[in-house]
Amino acid sequence: MKKMDRRSFIRVAGAGTLSLAATGPLVTSGFTAKSPNDRINVAVMGVRGRGAEHAAEFAAIPNVRIVTLCDIDERVLPKAVADLEKASGQRARTETDIRRVLDDKEVDAISIATPNHWHSLATIWACQAGKDVYVEKPVSHNIFEGRRMVEAARKYGRIVQTGSQTRSTEIGRAAMDFIHSGKLGEVYMAKCVVFRPRENIGRGKISAVPPEVHYDLWLGPVSWRPFNVNRFHYNWHWFWDTGNGETGNNGPHYTDMARWALQKYEHPRRIQSQGGFFVFDSEQETPNTQLSCLEYADGKIVQLEVRGLYTNREADFNMEMLFFGSEGWMQLKGEGEAWATFFGRNNEPGPRMDEAPADKSPDSMKIRGSGGGPHFENFIKAVRSRQAEDLTADILEGHLAASMCHLCNIAYRTGRTLVFDSDTERFVNNGEADAMLSREYRYPYVVPEKV
């Protein structure tokens, strides 16, 4: 694949495959860009956890208003409304069905913080409804869905941002600039470390659906099954029909940084993954210990290690990146919280960054805690400019990062070394693995072949 910079990649990467043939402008003809003085009205889908942070971050941006909070569990809505009003003075409407939100012509953009199995369909429906989208990682539940999201964004000329907030921090961007300058030499390997303590979820029982929960809407694309509270709030992460395990939960933050450092605008070629679910007696389906290796066509390597049990730390952080070059290596802590470099056999300390540089311009990005404030600001900036290249994490970047985690999970579940064709997004001579590229969808919650 021809090497190019990120902005060129976003501008010309085609829909359907990763072919780099030009496909025309990203914004549909006749669309009028908003004035910087126009108010952007945002709706948030999924407000029990991360979505509440979305609402607070967007409400803090000038000329942005949260008009609707949407959640299938009516029990969480009163607190979400009260918290937003207390923090920003904004009082939002509430809704339980995303389809009614998308029918609202007042809504300009939707921010999605639902379980993973809803990310793709909500994004596609929003693009078709003429809304811009901020969608949490992983952007998709499977690789087929991620590609359809890219196609929808391009076809309908929408701005779609991935929740990879490290791309909008000063420290994260400075780390990448240092690597791309060649000061580490040739970077040949990146290691993603996700050591996140997780407790035993045990075993639940089938029970009646709480009257305030719209369970059919919560299941959405998932095949119908009886309600089990142990597979509901948050624990959905640990079941294959709704989540992607820790590899697909926190993994996309780090696989995104790995491919950014290696400047990879393609899928890995060869994938291996081993692990298991250890220690606990539980109905959890996804592994709590997993070690994956992804190799690109040129031989460069990304490792992703997940540990949810009792463990040491890698250096002095539980979640971080390690980049290895011909001259030295870099440790990037957390999601862009600090970085340091070391050189030669004796690990001589090199340049490092522990705090964001002083703000010297209106466009300078400041770190606002783990919420990723600058990332939300970047999305609003692109909504106003109508230029997808202005995004620090366009949906295509998110698709490639999430796909790395999906590939790891497919290799784990098949127990095989897999070979993947980046252009066709299919495995080479492996029907069992190909079957995991998509899923069976429950009508009417169907991710279409053509968007």
* DSSP codes, 157-177: T--EEES-GGGGSHHHHHHHH
The confidence score (pLDDT) of residue 361 equals 41
pTM for this predicted structure: 0.92
pLDDT tens across 198-241, in order?
999 999 999 999 999 999 999 999 999 999 999 999 999 999 99
Which amino acid belongs to residue 35?
A: S
427 phi, psi to nearest 5 deg: -80, 155
Could you say which of 3.40.50.720, 3.40.50.970, 3.10.20.30, 3.10.450.40 is the CATH number of the domain covering 25-167+367-394? 3.40.50.720
Burial 322-341, CB ≥16 within 10 A → b, else e: bbbbeebbbbbbbbbbbbbb
pLDDT for the residue numbered 191? 97
User: What pLDDT is stored for residue 111 in this prediction?
Assistant: 98
Cα separation, 274 vs 285, in Å, equals: 15
Are 122 and 45 contacting, i.e. CB atoms less than 8 angstroms apart? Answer: yes
Tell me, what's the pLDDT at 36?
Answer: 58
Decide: 265 and 8 in contact? Cβ < 8 Å: no
- 328-333, strands of its sheet edge to edge: 348-353, 338-343, 328-333, 319-325, 187-195, 301-307, 289-295, 270-276, 418-421, 426-427
Contacts of 450 (CB under 8 A, 6+ apart): none
- The answer to whether 296 and 432 are in contact (CB under 8 A) is no
Please, where in the chain does CATH 3.40.50.720 lie? 25-167+367-394
Model confidence over 271-296: pLDDT tens digits?
Answer: 999 999 999 999 999 999 999 999 99
Any idea what DSSP says for residue 235?
Answer: G
Instruction: Specify whether domain 170-202+229-359+401-437 bears CATH 3.30.360.10.
Output: yes
- List, as one string, the DSSP characters of 347-393: TEEEEEE-SPPPP-STTPPPP-GGG-HHHHHHHHHHHHHT-GGG-SS
**Residue-level pLDDT at 313:** 80
What pLDDT does 31 receive?
Answer: 34
Residue 109, token pair as written in the block: 């953009």
Q: Which residues of the chain have pLDDT under 50?
A: 1-2, 14-32, 359-371
Q: Which residue type, as a one-letter code, is found at position 356? A: A
- Rounded Cα–Cα distance for residues 12 and 378 (Å): 21
The dihedral sign for the CA sequence 107, 113, 115, 119: positive
Q: Count of CB atoms within 10 A of residue 217's CB?
A: 17
Which CA distances in Å does 349 have to 153, 178, 334, 345? 44, 15, 20, 11
CA distance 166 to 174: 11
Residue 177 burial (10 A CB sphere; 0-12, 13-18, 19+): exposed
Residues of the chain within CATH 3.30.360.10 domain(s) are 170-202+229-359+401-437
Sign, CA torsion 363/66/370/218: negative
